[in-house]
Amino acid sequence: MPTYSLNTPLTDADIEKLRAGDMVLLNGIIYSGRDAAHKKLSDLLDQGKPLPFDLKGASIYYVGPSPAPPGRPIGSAGPTTSYRMDAYAPRLYSLGLKASIGKGKRADAVKQAMRDFKGVYFGATGGAGALLSKCITASKVIAFDELGPEAVREMTVKDFPLLVINDAFGGELYAKPNLEE
Amino acid sequence: MKEIKAADISAAVARMCMSANTKLPDDVRRKFEEGYKNETSEAGREIFRQLLENADLAFETKLPLCQDCGLAVFYVEMGEDVVVPGGINKAITEGMVTGYKDGFLRKSSCDPLTRKNTGDNTPAIIHIDLVPGDRLKISYMAKGGGSENMSRVTMLAPSQGWEGIKKFVVTRVAEAGPNPCPPIILGIGIGGTFEYAPKIAKKALLRKLDDVHPDPQIAAMEAELLAEVNKLGIGPMGLGGSYTCLAVKIAIAPCHIASLPLAVNVQCHSARHEEVEF
């Protein structure tokens, strides 16, 4: 399995070399955002207002971390299920988002947006939030503090372990269930 | 009558919330070790390796096993001869709030429409059964949203029977695919009424993964469903493999002559629950 070490912000060239099943160690700044934050980002776009971070080359991590205990930058921080952000994701990819990070299946419209705008969808291991938090070296809330666990955070990651679930060429890693019909 | 102090209940509940979210139950851990050894897919074995490492790290650091510390669900068996001055609901709720605060656990409860977080993980979801005697047993479950979202209740026709039940469960797991964090555990409620089937389905998730149902017929049904679900090949985190489901736990209750209620409560691999008795 090819393994790539990539730095954010991601470029079209980074995305073009990735195929479903590849492993990626991600480094740099990523942004947390899940259900309520996506609604707010969408509202800002509707109103023509600037977003709290630059979408160009950005990676959004679908995560709502547990509170940081004293002496740690963050609490447990594994991925949440991604399909709930499907309603918002195509628009974000069209505006420069390069990667979303979560777990679980994506809608066809999201996969199409990744093909159209050169994006990828990474999977992180669900239910390994303590382990994944070791790769997050810094975290600060940059928007929507009132959302608590759902606030948008700027996170610095080091060798954050990800699998390419959907690539920019229509490839998908998830196994199709063996259903007898 | 036996009097149990509310403060003692609150303290025990707070301890349970913190402990259950940081210490993987031994029976779940044994299943992970078995999966790490026997899973047919390399990607699946790697997931089990990560989950074991995650469990060790959570225990050492007291970081939650999963950032989704769940809604706090309690199944209470309360003796009719037990008195809790101040009230059992209040005692449990206060303990839960303390546990989630002091344990740095995530508060995941919000208004369903405004989506505003309640801030302290309230309300606790409390199911109380009155039982004869003077004992009090409180079981706590941290129920995450990802797996809960993949759960379903349906009202089958009696003619659909066991075959219809199997088909619904297997199809549900197939449709859920990687979403609920497989390998999953299934709590299946068969019978009762529209609200009773999911109540017993969830309670069945409190059983040990390696126990065997005392009724041999139900034990055989659990084994059959487990085998059927694992034929799907979804595997750990949906990456393919033989471990899609770790255990199936079935609860049965009589139902209306017109009905066959069925509830499928999906539990993620991070099956966090503990109990305390007074």
Tokens (6 digits) for A27: 């480094």
Q: What percent of chain B has pLDDT over 70?
A: 100
Could you give the CA distance from residue B66 to residue A30 in angstroms, rounded to a whole number? 20
Nearest-by-Cβ selection for B53 from A81, A131, A149: A131
What residue type is A81 in one-letter code? T
Closest-CA distance of chain A to residue B248, Å: 18
Helices (H) and strands (E) counted in chain A, each on its own, are 5, 7
CA-closest candidate to residue A24, choices A101, A117, A128:
A101
| Contact check, Cβ <8 Å, B146/A81 | yes
In a domain, A31, yes or no: yes
Could you give the CA distance from residue A136 to residue B186 in angstroms, rounded to a whole number? 33
At residue B44, φ and ψ (nearest 5 deg) are: -65, -40
Question: CB atoms < 10 A from the CB of B198, how many?
Answer: 20
Residue B192 has pLDDT above 90, yes or no: yes
Could you give the CA distance from residue A62 to residue A71 in angstroms, rounded to a whole number? 24
| Contact check, Cβ <8 Å, A78/B66 | yes
The pLDDT, as a whole number, for residue B49 is: 98
Task: Provide ipTM, 2 decimals.
Answer: 0.95
CATH of the domain at A124: 3.20.130.10
Yes or no: say if B58 and B24 are a contact pair by the CB < 8 Å rule.
Answer: yes
CA-closest candidate to residue B185, choices B62, B32, B19:
B32
Angle, nearest 10°, between helix axes B88-102 and B6-20?
40
Residue A130's domain spans which residues?
3-166
Q: Which residues of B touch A81 (CB under 8 A)?
A: 145-146, 149, 179-180
Residue A118 has pLDDT above 70, yes or no: yes
| Cα nearest neighbour of A176 on chain B | B234
Look-up: residue for tokens 């055989």?
B220
| Contact check, Cβ <8 Å, B235/A175 | yes
Task: Give the SS3 label for residue A151.
Answer: coil
Q: Where are the domains of chain B?
A: 2-20+65-143, 146-271
Count of domains forming chain A: 1
What lies within 8 Å, CB to CB, of A126 at 6+ separation is: A78, A79, A81, A103, A104, B66, B146, B181, B237, B268
At residue B59, φ and ψ (nearest 5 deg) are: -65, -40
Q: Which residues of B touch A23 (CB under 8 A)?
A: none
At residue A121, φ and ψ (nearest 5 deg) are: -125, 120
In a domain, A181, yes or no: no
| Cα nearest neighbour of A103 on chain B | B179
Nearest-by-Cβ selection for B63 from A76, A127, A174: A76
The pLDDT, as a whole number, for residue A179 is: 82
The pLDDT, as a whole number, for residue A1 is: 74
In a domain, A52, yes or no: yes
Residue A181 has pLDDT above 60, yes or no: no
Please give, one letter per residue, the 3-state secondary structure of B231-250.
Answer: CCCCCHHHCCCCCCEEEEEE
Could you give the CA distance from residue B98 to residue B9 in angstroms, rounded to a whole number? 12
Yes or no: say if A32 and A152 are a contact pair by the CB < 8 Å rule.
Answer: yes
Could you give the CA distance from residue B75 to residue B60 in angstroms, rounded to a whole number? 28
Size of interface A-B (CB pairs under 8 A): 145
The residues of A assigned a catalytic role are 38
Could you give the CA distance from residue A39 to residue A124 in angstroms, rounded to a whole number? 23
Yes or no: say if A6 and A24 are a contact pair by the CB < 8 Å rule.
Answer: yes
pLDDT band at B113 (very low <50, low <70, confident <90, very high): very high
pLDDT tens per residue across span B162-182: 999 999 999 999 999 999 999
The pLDDT, as a whole number, for residue A49 is: 97
Taking CB atoms within 8 Å and a gap of at least 24, the contacts of B159-166 are B160/B260, B161/B260, B162/B221, B164/B260, B165/B190, B165/B260, B165/B262, B166/B224, B166/B225, B166/B228
In a domain, A175, yes or no: no
**Residue A82 gets which letter from DSSP?**
G
Q: Which residues of A touch B235 (CB under 8 A)?
A: 175
Closest-CA distance of chain A to residue B43, Å: 10
**Residue B23 gets which letter from DSSP?**
S
Q: Which residues of B touch A75 (CB under 8 A)?
A: 63-64, 67, 104, 106
pLDDT tens per residue across span B78-87: 999 999 999 9
In a domain, A172, yes or no: no
Closest-CA distance of chain A to residue B56, Å: 9
What string of DSSP letters covers B24-83?
A: --HHHHHHHHHHHHH-SSHHHHHHHHHHHHHHHHHHHH---SSS---EEEEEEEEETTEE
Mean pLDDT within B198-215: 98
In a domain, A177, yes or no: no
pLDDT tens per residue across span A31-61: 999 999 999 999 999 999 999 999 999 999 9
